[in-house]
């Protein structure tokens, strides 16, 4: 069986997406790979197919413990022999799952990075012949990234401790050039083939709305998009409750999701959204990792998030089906204050905090720029930008722009001729040709 047969047989798809085939071929040939591909590009298949083709087992290191069970269940339903180990699995059971990997009863074993701390478990793991190690969400290894996980730092030591080095592959959706370099070094992937597909999502239109009455805006927007699916992201649980109550009171079929809710309620909320029982989900950033809903038509940020990495990931949950979708950020000056507070509360070290501020400043710059919003994002992630997108908020308002150079020149001349001694209202009076006594 070749990659195309596996694609058809296990996943039911007829053709690979751009780049998937190249990534898979490189891995199958035994090359290390680092792939930076946007959310929705189809990264999972890029390592799942080689895992099925390789003779021995594959381990996949992933930080998303809460999703592992679902991911593995989905694979099992597709007939792919997979399992997972993390802190929720009793010790004996996790050793049993390793045995299954050893025997070839399973081909893919998902693992939390904490499991790589040296232990009896890792001793056993080192005895299992492995064809590949996959590092998912690989940006977590970098302290310059937005989701640093210290346990990701152990991955390289673990790989180096193995009697035989398997193929090593790393995947992420977002990486600035700095994070990319750090990932290479920290994971020992200096020689890896790097695949970077463009991060551009041409079907998304970006907009920043500054100083709006946020609640009115949300109500109006949601009402005029009643039949469409959308997500409203808030920075705090309290804001989630406020917006959720507002929508419910106005008879809108909204759901809510944040980490303070019971597991069962969260699962239900996610399911209601997936099956379109609710059209709009009000949520914190806890919502969305791993949701695979393709027809989300809009993502509104009720408050500014902490970084462009977070913003692009969350906004990127719109339009995974490729159809036109809107990403709107409602910005007010207070938002930065909330994020600064959250940074100060987070008890990280000095360097970490500096980076957080650096990212926050870039986020604020995005909210205040007057140039193309899409290009601003792409440039931040180190991509070459060419033409403005033509359909973001700034490109569109630019079309209605008027040239006020002549008027501005006149204003400055007047200020100078009055020796910069008077305030704005007097200058305005002069320019209007007022005959008031002072002016005369
Ligand atoms: P990522 O991890 O890059 O965000 P996923 O691996 O979750 O993306 O894939 C996104 C969606 O695209 C999934 O529903 C997946 O089944 C689908 N998909 C992936 N590859 C293909 C393909 N070649 N043809 C059609 N759909 C695909
Ligand atoms: Zn634009």
Ligand closest to the CA atom of residue 67: 1
* CATH classification at residue 59: 3.40.50.300
Which ligand sits closest to the CA of 74?
1
Residue 374 lies in a domain: no
For atom 15 of ligand 1, which residue has the closest CA? 42
Q: Which of 342, 368, 394 is the last residue of a domain?
A: 368
On whether both 46 and 110 belong to a single domain, the answer is: yes
Band (pLDDT 50/70/90 cuts) for residue 263 is confident
Q: Which of 44, 110, 294 to mutate to test the pocket of ligand 1 (most atoms within 8 A of CB)?
A: 44
- Is-contact 4 183, C-beta < 8 A? no
- How many angstroms is it from 199 CA to the middle of ligand 1? 15
pLDDT at 22 over 80: yes
Above 90 in pLDDT, residue 126?
Answer: yes
Provide the b/e sequence for 206-235 (b: ≥16 CB within 10 Å).
bbbbeeeebeeebbebbeebeeebbbbbbb
User: Phi/psi of residue 283, each to 5°?
Assistant: -155, 160
Q: Is 313 contained in some domain? A: yes
Looking at 150, 175, 196, which one is the last position of a domain? 196
Cα-to-centroid distance, 243 and ligand 2 (Å): 29
* CA-nearest residue, atom 2 of ligand 1: 43
Does a structural domain hold residue 21?
yes
379 lies in some domain: no
Domain range for 410 is: 403-440
Number of Cβ atoms within 10 Å of the Cβ of 336: 18
Output the CA 413–ligand 1 centroid distance in Å.
60
Which stretch of 38-42, 186-190, 208-212, 332-336 has the lowest confidence by average pLDDT? 38-42
- Across residues 267-290, what is the average pLDDT? 89
Task: Kindly state whether residues 191 and 217 are assigned to the same domain.
Answer: no
Q: What is the mean pLDDT of residues 201-223?
A: 94
Same domain, 160 and 27: yes
Same domain, 101 and 230: no
Ligand 1 centroid – CA 358 distance (Å) = 33
Residues 165 and 219 in one domain: no
Question: Do residue 147 and residue 236 come from a single domain?
Answer: no
pLDDT of 285 strictly over 80 = yes
Q: Which ligand has the minimum distance to the alpha carbon of residue 376?
A: 2
Contact 130, 166 (CB under 8 A): yes
Task: Check whether residue 248 and residue 332 sit in a common domain.
Answer: yes
Rg (CA), the chain: 26
The kind and range of the H/E element at 206 are strand 204-210
Q: How far is the CA of 320 from the centre of ligand 1 (A)?
A: 9
Q: Ligand 1, atom 19: nearest CA belongs to which residue?
A: 42
Q: Residue 100 and residue 82: Cα distance in Å, rounded?
A: 10
Least confident window among 13-17, 110-114, 119-123, 144-148: 144-148
Protein residue with its CA nearest to atom 17 in ligand 1: 42
Name the token pair of 231. 């997500």
When pLDDT is averaged across residues 285-296 and rounded to a whole number, the result is 80
Q: How confident is the model over 39-78, as pLDDT tens digits?
A: 778 899 999 999 999 999 999 999 888 788 888 999 999 9
Domain check: are 39 and 132 in the same one? Answer: yes
Q: Between 347 and 88, name the one with better pLDDT.
A: 88
Q: Are 224 and 328 in contact (CB under 8 A)?
A: no
Q: Which atom of ligand 1 is found nearest the CA of 38? A: 3
Residue 392 lies in a domain: no
| Position 385 in a domain | no
Weakest-pLDDT range from 199-208, 322-331, 422-431: 422-431
Helix (H) / strand (E) element for 408: namely: helix 405-417
User: Does the structure show a pLDDT above 60 at 116?
Assistant: yes
Do 140 and 235 belong together in one domain? no
State whether 189 and 251 are in the same domain.
no
pLDDT at 122 over 50: yes
384 falls within a domain: no
Residues 167 and 134: beta-carbon distance below 8 Å: no
- Note whether 50 and 190 are same-domain residues: yes
Reading phi first (left if > 0) and then psi (alpha if -120 to 50, else beta), residue 409 is in alpha
In this predicted structure, what is the pLDDT of residue 79?
95
Query: How far apart are the C-alpha atoms of 108 and 340, rounded to whole Å?
Result: 41
Confidence of residue 403 (pLDDT cuts 50, 70, 90): low
Rounded CA-CA distance 227/333 in Å is 32
Report which of 278, 285, 299, 310 is spatially closest to residue 234, judged by C-alpha positions: 285
Which of these ranges, 51-60, 87-96, 285-294, has the smallest mean pLDDT?
285-294
Q: Which residues line ligand 1 (CB under 6 A)?
A: 13, 16-17, 20, 37, 39-45, 292
Per the listing, tokens 């999701």 go with 257
Question: 144 CA distance to ligand 2 centroid (A)?
Answer: 28
For the cut 90, the answer to whether the pLDDT of residue 410 exceeds it is no
pLDDT for 298 beyond 70: yes
Q: Which ligand is nearest to the CA of 172?
A: 1
- pLDDT tier at 425, thresholds 50, 70, 90: confident
In ligand 1, the atom with minimum distance to the C-alpha of 17 is 23
| Residue to probe by mutation, ligand 1, list 7, 23, 42, most atoms within 8 Å of CB | 42
Residue nearest to atom 27 of ligand 1 (CA): 42
Give 400's pLDDT tier (boundaries 50, 70, 90): very low
For residue 57, what are the β-bridge partners?
A: 130
Task: Give the residue whose CA is nearest to atom 20 of ligand 1.
Answer: 42
User: What is the tally of structural domains in the chain?
Assistant: 3
| Ligand at shortest distance from the CA of 397 | 2
Q: What is the mean pLDDT of residues 303-315?
A: 93
| Last residue in a domain, options 196, 229, 263 | 196
CA dihedral 151, 153, 155, 158 (to 10 degrees): -100
Q: Does the residue 216 lie in any domain? A: yes
Same domain (yes/no): 323, 411: no
Q: At 404, is the pLDDT very low, low, confident or very high (cuts 50, 70, 90)?
A: low
């Amino acid at each position: 069986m070749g990659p195309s047969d596996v694609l058809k047989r296990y996943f039911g798809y007829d053709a690979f997406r751009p780049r998937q085939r190249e990534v898979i071929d490189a891995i199958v040939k035994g090359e290390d790979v680092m792939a930076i591909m946007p959310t929705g590009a189809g990264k999972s298949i890029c390592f799942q197919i080689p895992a099925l083709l390789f003779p021995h087992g594959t381990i996949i290191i992933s930080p998303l413990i809460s999703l592992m069970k679902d991911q593995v269940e989905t694979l099992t339903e597709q007939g792919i022999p997979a399992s997972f180990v993390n802190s929720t699995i009793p010790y004996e059971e996790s050793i049993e799952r390793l045995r299954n990997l050893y025997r070839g009863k399973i081909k893919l074993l998902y693992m939390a990075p904490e499991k790589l701390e040296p232990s009896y478990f890792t001793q056993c793991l080192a005895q299992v012949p492995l064809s590949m190690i996959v590092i998912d969400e690989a940006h977590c290894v970098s302290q310059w990234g937005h989701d640093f996980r210290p346990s990701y730092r152990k991955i390289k030591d673990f790989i180096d401790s193995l009697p035989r080095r398997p193929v090593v592959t790393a995947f992420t959706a977002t990486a600035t050039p700095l994070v990319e370099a750090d990932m290479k070094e920290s994971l020992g992937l200096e020689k890896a083939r790097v695949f970077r597909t463009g991060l551009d999502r041409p079907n998304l239109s970006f907009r920043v709305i500054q100083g709006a009455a946020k609640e009115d805006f949300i109500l109006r927007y949601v009402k005029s998009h009643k039949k469409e699916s959308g997500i409203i992201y808030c920075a705090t649980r309290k804001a989630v409750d406020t917006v959720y109550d507002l929508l419910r009171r106005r008879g809108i079929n909204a759901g809510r999701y944040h980490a303070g809710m019971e597991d069962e309620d969260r699962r239900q909320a996610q399911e209601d959204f997936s099956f379109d029982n609710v059209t709009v989900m009000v949520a914190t950033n806890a919502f969305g990792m791993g949701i695979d809903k393709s027809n989300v038509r809009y993502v509104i940020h009720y408050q500014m998030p902490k970084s462009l990495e977070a913003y692009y990931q969350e906004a990127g949950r719109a339009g995974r089906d490729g159809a036109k979708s809107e990403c709107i950020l409602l910005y007010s000056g207070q938002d930065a204050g909330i994020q600064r507070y959250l940074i100060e509360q987070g008890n990280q070290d000095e360097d970490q905090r500096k980076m957080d501020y650096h990212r926050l400043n870039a986020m604020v710059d995005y909210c205040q720029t007057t140039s193309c919003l899409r290009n601003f994002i792409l440039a931040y992630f180190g991509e070459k930008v060419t033409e403005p997108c033509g359909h973001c908020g700034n490109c569109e308002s630019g079309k209605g722009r008027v040239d006020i150079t002549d008027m501005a020149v006149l204003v400055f001349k007047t200020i100078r001729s009055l020796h910069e001694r008077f305030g704005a209202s007097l200058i305005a009076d002069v320019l209007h040709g007022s005959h008031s006594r002072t002016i005369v």
